[in-house]
Structures are given as C-alpha cells and as structure tokens.
Amino acid sequence: MAQIRIVDDWRRSPASGPSHYRSVMVIAEKWAEQRVLMRAYAESRDQLRPTIMLHGAELAIGPAGLDLNGPWGIHVGDNPEVRAPHIKEQLESSARRLAGSKGNPPRLADESPTFDREPTANWGPGAPRVLPARPSHQPPAVQQVGPVGAARIPAAPAAAYVPPMQAQHAAAPAQGAAAPSNPELRTTPMPRPRSRTGRHPPAIQARTALGYTSGSGAQSAIVRLGLAPHVSARLGRLVDRVVPGDFHLDGRERRVLNALGEGELTARGIGQMLDVADPVSFMEELTRKLEAYNLDLIEPGEPQGGEPTYRLRA
C-alpha cells in the first residue's frame, strides 16, 4: 500500500532540478500505484508540472526523491493531517481499479490483464528497460552420424543399333473374324461385322418407361385406369396396351372396377353401392366404353336367382 512520508529532497518533474524544502507526500509503494502516477504524468498537459485528478481534485505529482528511477508520489499540500489519509485511500483505490483482480476485472479496455506482472522496472521516464527473462538460445545437440556405405549401382547396358523398320500396309480385314489363338490372354471383345442392310426401322409402338408413345401423348392402360395396386397387379396382361389421351374414368366407374377386383358382384349390389336406379344399364355402358379402347376387363358371371352378376376378367 502507499506510504505517507515527509520528504526534504524531491523533484517537481523529471526535467526539473532538485527542491530542498519539506513536503508531505503520499508515495507509491507497489507497481500498480506507480502505474497510476505514470499514466497521469503521460496524460498531463504540462509535463513540467504534472498533476493527477482524484475525485475532482487536481493534485501535484512527481518523483519522491532525487533519483529519477525511484518511486513517485502525490504532494498533499495544506492540512496534511486530514488530507493525506484521504489521498492515500484514493490512490490505492485507483490502483486496484486499474490493475483489477479475480473478482474485479480491469476497468480500462486498453490495459492488458498481464501488464501488472511484467518486470519492466520503469519507475520513471527515460529509465532503462528490464526485459523479461527468456531462455537462452543454445545450439541444439548434434549427435555423430556414422558414414553411410555407398551402394553399388549396376552399369547401364550399352546402346545397340536398331535398324529402321519399313512401314507395312495392313491388309483389309476379312469378312468374318477368326477366333484368337490365345483366348485366355485376350481381354478386348471380338469385332462384329457390320450389317449391310442399313438401320433398322423404328418400332411402331415404342414406349418410354412411363408408358408414353413418342409424340402421341398416349399412356399405359394400367396407369390411366388408376386402380388400386392389388387390383392393377392382376392386370398384367394389359402392360403392353396403351390408351389415347382422351381416355378417362370417373369416380363411380373406378369404384366399380376396384370392387370387382375384390370379387364377383351382383347388379343389385352395384346399384346399392353407387346409388343408381338401373345398374344393368350402367354396367352395359361401362363395358362398351372399355371395349371401345380394347380393354376387355368385365365379363358376366353366373346368374344368382335370375339376377346378372359381373366379375373382373384376369
């Protein structure tokens, strides 16, 4: 902590001469307190008469002796018995606030947290720097490396004269390719003779993976019917059939086909399911519509009590 001393020999600033009259000073004892005074000296407008502001009061500061590298202090001035303890407390509080601690970080953003622990020994302007101790750079230890035996490199073979080869024209390939003499070592496929008939004509009903015929807009009949998956699985014979783009089934027709895929139905059952007054006429019209697109899906079943029945033709 700071000390309150009566000083007889001191300097007003590092550039001033010695003064020999008595003054009461609060002298810095720790580096944190000394740094508060050094900071105030660096920010003073008149460094020949440096001062510090403590709680709104401007107080004179300077070296507390004739040694420029010694500690600095604050001149108390008048009424030292009352002001000296108060100034000492303010200096220590400023030092703690500037240095920070574990629970009280530094208040100044431009101060490094490790600045207090650097051994600079700058107790005054112009003092020589004391750099931190660093490990001396010693040359690395070099171990003796034994000589490596030379390896024998075989001599390159002597250059031999190679007579030039005359270019030979390859004969035209035979019409039929002969089997190779070493089939177990041959890895490339045998050439195939080209057909002289020209290109094959395109297929009439060539369809894509989705069932479309190129350019016609037609689609697979199974896709356009839109039946349940287990019912469509029974209609494998219709895979190659296509229907034009205007083919369409309404909801009631598709419902009847899905029900026929479950089992045989009577005309009365179809009428109750679709709520139609004449189910026989409805089924005859649906059968003619499907046959018009070459889709023979419905066939008559065995009559039950004189009532017609219908079933799905698998």
Instruction: Evaluate whether 71 touches 27 at the Cβ level (below 8 Å).
Output: yes
Which one, of 76, 3, 80, 79, lies nearest residue 34 by Cα? 3
How far is 73 from 2, CA to CA, in rounded Å?
9
Q: Which pLDDT belongs to residue 63?
A: 92
Q: How far is CA 285 from CA 7, 78, 175, 232, 289, in A?
A: 127, 124, 63, 22, 6
Which positions ≥6 away from 49 have C-beta within 8 Å?
12, 13, 60
Question: Looking up tokens 């307190």, which residue turns up?
Answer: 33
Backbone φ and ψ for 289, nearest 5 degrees, come out as: -65, -45
Question: Looking up tokens 């057909």, which residue turns up?
Answer: 195
Residue type, 115: F
Q: What is the pLDDT along the chain (314 residues), one digit of tens a residue?
A: 788 999 999 999 988 899 988 999 999 988 888 888 988 998 888 989 999 988 788 899 999 999 888 899 999 988 889 899 999 998 888 888 877 665 555 555 444 455 555 555 555 566 665 555 555 556 666 666 667 667 777 777 777 777 777 666 555 555 555 665 665 655 555 566 665 555 555 544 545 444 444 444 557 777 777 788 888 887 777 777 787 877 888 888 888 888 888 888 888 888 888 888 888 888 888 888 888 888 888 888 888 877 888 888 76
Q: Which pLDDT belongs to residue 214?
A: 45
Question: Looking up tokens 């050094």, which residue turns up?
Answer: 38
Is residue 33 within a helix (H) or strand (E), and if so which, with residue range? helix 31-42
* Four-CA torsion 76, 77, 83, 89, nearest 10 degrees: -10
How far is 139 from 225, CA to CA, in rounded Å?
90
Q: Specify the pairing of strand 265-266 against strand 72-75.
A: unpaired
Q: Which pLDDT belongs to residue 132?
A: 55
The 10 Å Cβ neighbour count of residue 99 is 23
Instruction: Evaluate whether 57 touches 44 at the Cβ level (below 8 Å).
Output: no
Q: Which pLDDT belongs to residue 8?
A: 92
The model's pTM: 0.34
